[in-house]
Amino acid sequence: MGRIRQLPPHVVNQIAAGEVVERPASVVKELVENAVDAGATRVEVRLVEGGKARIEVRDDGCGMDADDLAAAFLPHATSKLADVGDLEHIASLGFRGEALASIGSVARATITSRPAGADAGAVVEDREGAVTCVRPAAAAPGTVIVVEGLFAGVPARRKFLRSAATELGHAVETMERFALAFPDVVFVLEHEGRTLVDTAAGEGRRARIGRFHGDDLARALLEARSAPGAAVEVEAWLSPPGLSRADARLQQVFVNGRFVRDRTSLHALREAYRDLVPPGDRQPIVFLFVTCDPARVDVNVHPQKAEVRWRDASAVHESVRRTLRAALEGARPGVPVAPWERPGVPRSTVEAAEWAFTQGAGLPVGAPSAPRGPAWPGGGDHLPDATADVAVSRAASPAGGASAVASAGPGATAVSGRERLRPVGQVLGTYLVLEGEDGLVLVDQHALHERVLFDQISDRLRDGALEVQHLLVPAVVSLSRAEVARVEEERGTFERLGWVVEPFGEGAVAVRACPAVLRRPDPEGMLREVLAVLDTGRRSGLDRAALLSAVVDRMACRGAVMAGDALHPDEVLALLAQAEALNHAHSCPHGRPTRLVMSRRDLERYFHR
């Protein structure tokens, strides 16, 4: 009897604060959101002790008059929603009317505000739940909110705050996200008198990325933009293939200016990078901005509004994937002009260079470094005189791997030229050795051929003109009955992929034709792999395009020359020539690199010359 009581409002607010206010950075987030919603063009944040002691947010927004201030600390009081219908299309960052009440319940908060055009301002204070009367005060147009002694009255929460430096780091991250989301607003962050963030108005997102992550990285990023007028507009700054990070921290998604962890977009961006980034441990860098009608997205699903729910997730997925992919395919992966990551990394690195290649030109006359190659191992033939002309574009875009470094070295200007590659031989039956203009190039023959095949088959599939070589004697492959049934079922798919497969008695199929581009058609191995891919793909619900891509991937892998296959010099030249036409010749479809460059400088350093 009488055990259930309605909680007093300040306790309710403290509980709500548990969800909304976690640490100083979340206070900063809520207050800056309000400032942006108020139409501020300049937002200044000043922190003391990482925000644990004092947080001040000053904006030049529309401000609040005395009446507004009186209601500001009330729970569920907001100017941003009027009725439930407004929840369907939330255009502002905040909307619940919880933030100020929550903050006021766990700290001493003071709001001083003066609406634009008003003669004077007013001030109101909330001391851990006790709201004072609104008093007139001197104020500049806009709003200043000061929050002091966060969690001073809630020791349980205060205990969980980290060091000032850590809390400050979170605050900086929060400011960074606002700065990227709203390039037209100036954001300033000062900590105990030191300016940590200072942005200029209208400098654009690339410049802002540069401020936070370094200009070299910012310069290296590609820019992607969906067609104007699309229902879901996508804008992104993304790493070219070959440039990646070990973690996904630099995959940031903003939906209508709000930083969110959106699984749909993140999945779409991974799909866009499919076969361009090594699997598992490497992550591309993407700053993604999705803009759409607020009615298409529900932001009211997470207390900190860190997630969204799409009305039509697949349209968003497709729009993001296609926009990013188009930018990646148009990219000419190149080599950075200067090292952008930490200095001191080893210089012999995988160069994400473009292979542009023409064959047949002889060695430059009198080239100082052009001795005849030794006899090709295995064949005993001498190398043909034909020299590979490989143009390596050194445009300003970064190299592959975390530690990519151009041989150009710091301070060098961008060089765009053609590099001649001279095949020297094959080592370990696996790597092609080429002499470039500035050092040694090693090529993984399997990886490169795999990439060549993958692209060729994909291209042909797109054009619907894959050449099919019929076999004189069909290859008979024994399969389980279930597998035979699957083959029957997927016969159309196989045919589209260039395989003519027919049932051949019980428990066997006959392969009558295979794609002409495969160098080592292995019908049995291929059939089994393709069935396996189709099976797992089905089970995990891959769509048709992804499934085909996975199958082509397997075909390219099985059909490519293997490590250990001896290659005739002519085959090497042909392979390099084919790499010319590719966009992503620097990595195999699984994202493994295809080439390693050791510059003259690397070699000289090693040999102490």
Partner 1 sequence: MRLNVPTAPLLEAVGLASAVAASKSPKRILECVALRASRADGIRVEASDLDVTIAMRLDAGEVVEDGVVAVPATRLVSVLREVGEGRKDLTLVGQGGRLEVDTPDCQFRIHGEDPQELHPSEAFPGAAAATLPFSVLRSMIDRTQFATAREPGRFALHGVQFRFTSKELEVVATDGRRLAKAVHPVASGPATELKVIVGTKPLALVSRLAADPTAQVEVAVHDRRIYFRVGRCLLSSRLIDGAFPPYEQVIPQSSAKGFVAKAERLATALRRASLLTTREMRSVTLDFGPNLLVLSSRAPDVGEAKVSLEVPYTEAPEKLGFNPDYLLDALKVMDPQADVRFEVTSARSPGKLTAGDGYVYVVSPVSVTE
- Candidates 261-269, 357-365, 519-527, 594-602 — which segment interacts with partner 1 by CB under 8 A? 519-527
**Does position 465 bind partner 1 by CB under 8 A?**
yes
For residues 390 and 357, is the Cβ–Cβ distance under 8 A? yes
1 vs 473, beta carbon nearer partner 1: 473
**Does position 472 bind partner 1 by CB under 8 A?**
yes
Q: Tell me which of 109, 164, 288, 517 binds partner 1, using CB under 8 A.
A: 517
Distance CA 93, CA 33 (A): 6
Cα Rg of the chain (Å, integer): 31
> Dihedral, CA atoms, 446, 448, 453, 458, nearest 10 degrees?
130
Q: Tell me which of 230, 468, 510, 596 binds partner 1, using CB under 8 A.
A: 468
Residue type, 164: A
**Does position 546 bind partner 1 by CB under 8 A?**
no
Q: Tell me which of 135, 520, 538, 605 binds partner 1, using CB under 8 A.
A: 520
What six digits make up the tokens of 288? 């993604």
- Candidates 231-239, 292-300, 316-324, 571-579 — which segment interacts with partner 1 by CB under 8 A? 571-579
CB of 572 to partner 1, least distance (A): 13
- Candidates 158-166, 244-252, 477-485, 516-524 — which segment interacts with partner 1 by CB under 8 A? 516-524
Helix (H, G, I), strand (E, B) or coil at 31: helix
- Strand 194-198 to strand 186-191: parallel, antiparallel, or no bridges (unpaired)? antiparallel
**Does position 467 bind partner 1 by CB under 8 A?**
yes
401 vs 521, beta carbon nearer partner 1: 521
**Does position 462 bind partner 1 by CB under 8 A?**
no
For residues 14 and 106, is the Cβ–Cβ distance under 8 A? yes
- Candidates 65-73, 235-243, 468-476, 536-544 — which segment interacts with partner 1 by CB under 8 A? 468-476
Q: How many CB atoms lie within 10 A of CB 577?
A: 19
Q: How many CB atoms lie within 10 A of CB 80?
A: 15
CB of 557 to partner 1, least distance (A): 14
**What are the backbone dihedrals phi and psi of residue 172, each rounded to the nearest 5 degrees, phi first?**
-60, -45
Distance CA 7, CA 23 (A): 24
**Does position 522 bind partner 1 by CB under 8 A?**
yes
218 vs 577, beta carbon nearer partner 1: 577
CB of 473 to partner 1, least distance (A): 4
108 vs 554, beta carbon nearer partner 1: 554
76 vs 470, beta carbon nearer partner 1: 470
Residues 6 or more apart from 606 whose CB is under 8 A from it?
none
Q: Tell me which of 398, 521, 569, 593 binds partner 1, using CB under 8 A.
A: 521
CB of 494 to partner 1, least distance (A): 10
Distance CA 99, CA 20 (A): 7
CB of 417 to partner 1, least distance (A): 24
Residue type, 226: S
108 vs 558, beta carbon nearer partner 1: 558
Nearest to 194, CA basis, from 60, 50, 59: 50
**Does position 565 bind partner 1 by CB under 8 A?**
yes
**Does position 268 bind partner 1 by CB under 8 A?**
no
CB of 586 to partner 1, least distance (A): 20
Helix (H, G, I), strand (E, B) or coil at 320: helix
CA dist 83 → 73, 74, 89, 95, 97 (Å): 20, 17, 11, 11, 13
**Does position 430 bind partner 1 by CB under 8 A?**
no
Q: Tell me which of 229, 346, 464, 541 binds partner 1, using CB under 8 A.
A: 464
Total residues contacting partner 1 by CB under 8 A comes to: 32
- Candidates 194-202, 221-229, 366-374, 459-467 — which segment interacts with partner 1 by CB under 8 A? 459-467
**Does position 528 bind partner 1 by CB under 8 A?**
no
Which residues in 473-492 contact partner 1 (CB under 8 A)?
473, 475
**Does position 318 bind partner 1 by CB under 8 A?**
no
Which residues in 355-414 contact partner 1 (CB under 8 A)?
380
CA dist 503 → 411, 478, 484, 508, 533 (Å): 64, 10, 7, 6, 20
CA angle 601, 283, 30 (to 5 degrees): 125
Residues 6 or more apart from 196 whose CB is under 8 A from it?
168, 172, 175, 189, 190
Distance CA 69, CA 445 (A): 71
Label residue 494 left, alpha or beta by phi (over 0 means left) and psi (-120 to 50 means alpha).
alpha
365 vs 465, beta carbon nearer partner 1: 465
**Does position 516 bind partner 1 by CB under 8 A?**
yes
Nearest to 241, CA basis, from 316, 322, 335: 335
**Does position 428 bind partner 1 by CB under 8 A?**
no
Query: Rounded to an integer, what is the distance from CA 477 to the centroid of its chain?
Result: 42
Residues of this chain that interact with partner 1 (CB under 8 A) are 380, 456, 460-461, 463-473, 475, 495-498, 513, 516-517, 519-522, 562, 565, 574, 577-578
